[in-house]
Amino acid sequence: MAGRVIREFGAGDLGAAARLLAGRHREHRVKYPLLRADFEDPRVALTEVTAAWETEGASGAVLVDGDEVTGYLLGAPKSATWGPNVWVESAGFAVQEPETVRDLYAVAAAKWVDQGRTAQYVVVPDQAELVDAWFRLGFGGQHAHAIRDVPALPLPVRDGGTVRRADRGDVRVLAELDLVLPQHQGLSPVFSAGEVPTLEEALADWEEAIDDPEFATFVAEVNGRVIGSAIGCSLEKSSSHTGLARPDNAGFLGFAAVFPDARGHGAGRALGEAVLAWCAETGYDSVVTDWRVTNLLSSRTWPRLGFEQTFHRVHRLIGY
């Protein structure tokens, strides 16, 4: 009988990987039952592992103990926006023992670095031993995926100004607020390299989007001045929440921003609660959002609204 071997992932490993992924997701849902139940079925999990394997440029490793596959790791590149990158998405790894993530990474990452893929991203379920294993590989927290149930209605009225649905008369201020979030993310301590649109680009987008019935846009007003906005929609509109990280019938708090001079008075919370109420009224079963963990405002506001982190996006930059 063969001993413990780590080798490159191959198509013949898909079935075993799917069984491992289904088991990991089953354990994850003990803490977060709002996540999709069907991925606990290896036949359903197989669709996600297969998609990860068939992504252009995918590669990875498997751990075989005797005749049994006990761990796998798969990564693939995305847009150059993320640098010379490789991504391990939510279906990209599963192991019987968390420590073996480190062994799998040691094999898979050698190829990734040889290919010049030194900006590395991994979506890790909120399971302490798995997060710890990735941290001990030099990764650090970058982004949070979070969920909560829909609230009971009506919600209490809070300070933060008057919150109402946006209309066409708000197009210009909505465009201005579109610039606020990426500008804030570019500052310390986030230092995001995301592009900031021009006001003209944002105006053109809002002229077209303001009447889109699939998006619920809210604004907060104080003394007749719009100071912030937030947007709710179906989670299916999000390209960042896919596969195991996309619950069934979920709403999405997709955007929120408040002008810098108006922060600290509860407008962000009031806008978030407006989106939560809309999700409840629309009939969603849960609400999802995400944030950069170095964004001090969102990383404090959204947990206070009841969002619990389900996945951690961790990041490592090789060579420094």
C-alpha closest to that of 269 among 113, 195, 163, 192: 163
* The total number of residues written for the chain in this structure: 320
Cis peptide preceding 303, ω within 30 of 0 = no
- Look at residue 1 in the predicted model and tell me its pLDDT: 43
Residue 176 backbone zone (phi > 0: left; psi -120 to 50: alpha; other: beta):
alpha
Contact yes or no for 300/260 (Cβ under 8 A):
no
- Look at residue 154 in the predicted model and tell me its pLDDT: 77
Tens-digit pLDDT profile for residues 148-174: 999 988 777 666 679 999 999 999 999
**Partners of residue 86 on adjacent β-strands:** 120
Distance CA 171, CA 292 (A): 26
Contact yes or no for 196/150 (Cβ under 8 A):
no
Distance CA 237, CA 254 (A): 9
Domains, the chain, with CATH or none: 4-138 (3.40.630.30), 149-307 (3.40.630.30)
DSSP helix/strand/coil, 44: helix
Token pair of 42 as six digits: 């290896």
Distance CA 310, CA 61 (A): 25
pLDDT per residue as tens, the chain (320 positions):
468 999 999 999 999 999 999 999 999 999 999 999 999 999 999 999 999 999 999 999 999 999 899 999 999 999 999 999 999 999 999 999 999 999 999 999 999 999 999 999 999 999 999 999 999 999 999 999 999 999 988 777 666 679 999 999 999 999 999 999 999 999 999 999 888 999 999 999 999 999 999 999 999 999 999 999 999 999 999 988 999 999 999 999 999 999 999 998 899 999 999 999 999 999 999 999 999 999 999 999 999 999 999 999 999 999 87
Tell me, yes or no, if the pTM score tops 0.85: yes
Contact yes or no for 247/285 (Cβ under 8 A):
yes
C-alpha closest to that of 4 among 74, 88, 104: 104
Residue 264 backbone zone (phi > 0: left; psi -120 to 50: alpha; other: beta):
left
